[in-house]
Amino acid sequence: MAARRLSPLSVPYRVLQRGGSIVAALAFMLATGGFSLPFAGLAGPLVLVGLASLAAAVFVGYEYAYFRRFAYELTADTFDIESGVFARRNREIPLRRIQNVDISRNVVQRAVGIAAVSFETAGGGDTEASLRFVSFEEAKRLQRELGRLKRGASADADGESSEPDARVLFELDRRELAILGALSFDFRVPGVLFVFFSGALTFVTSFLPEGLGPLLVVVGVFVLLLLGVLASWVAGAAVAVVNYYDFRLVRSADELQYQRGLLQRYDGSIPFDKVQTLTIADNPLKRWAGYATLLVETAGYAPGQGDSSRGSEAAVPVARRERIERLVEDIEPVGTPEFERPPKRTRRRYFGRYCIVIGAAAAALYGANAVFGQFLAWYAPLALLPVAAVAAHYKWKHRGYWLGENHVVTRNGVLKRETKVVPYYRIQTVIDTRTIFQRRLGLASVTVDTAGSLSIGGQDAAAVDIDAEDADALRGELESRLRIAVAAHRRGRVGMGVEDEVDVAESVESAEGGSGEGSMEDGDDADPFVWGETRDDATEDARRGDDGPPDDAGR
């Protein structure tokens, strides 16, 4: 396959994109003060026009050179890019390191039929390589081709004809989009509004008649609050609709592909064997209405998310719970979790914790009364005690963990309940923590760490407040199941729950032949057969490809 170039249309597009602001500035100068350049006299406009055309020529020249210099090529096991006008750069990215291929197109790009392609690798919010811009067909071809090469299907030479059988897993229908919009709030809006209007506030109050009394202030504040909530609701709904318009999730051979967006269209792929964690999230409202959210987490980063690196966007924003469950079953055959709840004594612990908060509030009020005089009933928070008891019960009720055949499932949280499905194969480390208070009650928390990008915020899957002895057992169990999962993976299973693709019996044989009697001493120079055997897909994957930045990626 020969090296390819960007789409020729990318030249005018980039020129307009990058030069647009300068053209605008020049036009502005021309329209306002430009006619009276002090030293040029009547020739002023001409000079300006000359400058503008010079700048335009430079831009066009640069972009054309960029286009001429840019070449990329998808080889059997690397993606090569050669680029640079002044500083030249040749890059080869091993295909195995690529997590997602994401295509994005805004309105203008859609109109002219070009797209930006980003290649994400593991390890944080950094795009490894991007093509700006290629034709949309070419972008799709790259996405497809990369998936095919990674599957190693390139060996069966029927190449192009092996079109993966794509199957639509999920489509967000109008009603769900409406529900999503209705449930979305963007609480950044009130802050912006506040900043914007805080100056105007004094201006407005100067018009109000004096001495209207506190009632007006209360009403005013209430109206403002209402407006703030309304504004954030409208903005949240708009953002949600724009982001998730026409959302669809497609399953091809071993990839998950998603499309979404109204103005900017995103089109991404997630290989199944890069999936780290599945999270089903809901809140009391969604639970009551029977809806939930699904997040698919990889070690890469999601496009179009800006600074908020919230894992992958292959999230199903909202859908009926049964549908989400079917989807999870489709992506990762988990089975039906039967959660093991923490022991009942934990309820006491939560109740105690809430009591401390209530007590502190009462004490603070009491202190305030003592300092500023009687104006509040300091014992009012005590009325919350029954609520605390109920809350403690619910907190306990919604906690739990379950060990499935291929997955560990944990569930935590009431107001923001998250059910996390972690394939054993994805476990990185198992951490067992016991605080003083937990030890007093004989409890422990077991955290299952994965390379997922959501977990950076400390939202790892965890079995919280389980019995200390259970925790010991769980730790050992998780470790041994990881071992089994890794062994199974090497025998040819792709990823976690995905069906075996290789004849298991046969590959077990070869695997056993390869393992040898490696004692601790033969270490890194183990018999060459092992190396030959292990340096292919499965194990290389296990070591680095999918699990994060390889050793040399700069820690």
Partner 1 sequence: MNRLDPRVQLLWVASAAVSALVVGGVLFAVVAFLSPPFLPSWTPYAAAALVFLLGAATAVARYRSWGYEVREDSLYLERGVFTRVRTVVPFVRIQHVDSSRGPIERVVGLASTVVYTAGSRGADVSVPGLTADGADELRERLKRLAIRSEGDDAV
Least distance (Å) from partner 1 to the CB of residue 304?
Answer: 22
By CB under 8 A, residue 423 contacts partner 1? no
The residues in 73-92 that bind partner 1, with binding defined as CB under 8 A, are none
Phi, psi dihedral angles at 411 (to 5 degrees): -140, 135
Q: Which is nearer to partner 1, 138 or 533 (CB)?
A: 533
By CB under 8 A, residue 530 contacts partner 1? yes
Phi, psi dihedral angles at 117 (to 5 degrees): -115, 130
By CB under 8 A, residue 362 contacts partner 1? no
By CB under 8 A, residue 398 contacts partner 1? no
Least distance (Å) from partner 1 to the CB of residue 128?
Answer: 16
The residues in 114-133 that bind partner 1, with binding defined as CB under 8 A, are 122
Q: Which is nearer to partner 1, 165 or 551 (CB)?
A: 551
By CB under 8 A, residue 337 contacts partner 1? no
The residues in 272-311 that bind partner 1, with binding defined as CB under 8 A, are 299
C-alpha to C-alpha distances, 44 to 30, 56, 207, nearest whole angstrom: 9, 18, 49
CB 277 within 8 A of CB 452: yes
Inter-axis angle of helices 174-183 and 214-244, nearest 10: 150
The residues in 455-494 that bind partner 1, with binding defined as CB under 8 A, are 455-456, 460, 475, 478-479, 482-484, 486-487, 490-491
Intra-chain end-to-end CA distance of the chain, in Å: 34
By CB under 8 A, residue 541 contacts partner 1? no
Dihedral angle at the C-alpha atoms of 200, 205, 206, 212, nearest 10 degrees? 180
By CB under 8 A, residue 429 contacts partner 1? yes
C-alpha to C-alpha distances, 182 to 237, 239, 320, 356, 504, nearest whole angstrom: 6, 11, 15, 36, 49
Q: Which is nearer to partner 1, 1 or 436 (CB)?
A: 436
By CB under 8 A, residue 505 contacts partner 1? no
CB 78 within 8 A of CB 119: no
By CB under 8 A, residue 543 contacts partner 1? yes
Least distance (Å) from partner 1 to the CB of residue 249?
Answer: 25
Q: Which is nearer to partner 1, 209 or 458 (CB)?
A: 458
User: Using the rule CB under 8 A, which residue among 99, 121, 412, 534 binds partner 1?
Assistant: 534
Q: Cis link prior to 133 (omega < 30° from 0)?
A: yes
Token output for 512: 């056993």
State the maximum Cα–Cα separation within the chain, in Å, rounded to a whole number.
92
CB 419 within 8 A of CB 435: no
By CB under 8 A, residue 169 contacts partner 1? no
Least distance (Å) from partner 1 to the CB of residue 551?
Answer: 5
Q: What angle do CA 98, 101, 107 make, to 5 degrees?
A: 155
Q: What angle do CA 114, 115, 120 make, to 5 degrees?
A: 160
Least distance (Å) from partner 1 to the CB of residue 511?
Answer: 4
User: Using the rule CB under 8 A, which residue among 187, 194, 222, 531 binds partner 1?
Assistant: 531
Q: Which is nearer to partner 1, 36 or 433 (CB)?
A: 433
Q: Which is nearer to partner 1, 299 or 408 (CB)?
A: 299
Least distance (Å) from partner 1 to the CB of residue 519?
Answer: 9
Least distance (Å) from partner 1 to the CB of residue 296?
Answer: 16
Inter-axis angle of helices 214-244 and 188-205, nearest 10: 150
Token output for 498: 């995905």
Least distance (Å) from partner 1 to the CB of residue 297?
Answer: 11
Q: Which amino acid is at 32?
A: T
Helix (H) or strand (E) holding 408: strand 407-412
The residue ranges of DSSP E strands in 253-396, in sequence order, are 255-260, 265-271, 275-282, 291-298, 316-320
By CB under 8 A, residue 544 contacts partner 1? yes
Residue 41, burial from CB neighbour count under 10 angstroms (0-12, 13-18, 19+): exposed
User: Using the rule CB under 8 A, which residue among 432, 441, 502, 504 binds partner 1?
Assistant: 432
Contacting positions for partner 1 (CB under 8 A): 122, 299, 427-436, 439, 449-453, 455-456, 460, 475, 478-479, 482-484, 486-487, 490-491, 511-512, 514-516, 518, 520, 522-524, 526, 530-531, 533-534, 539, 542-544, 547-551, 555
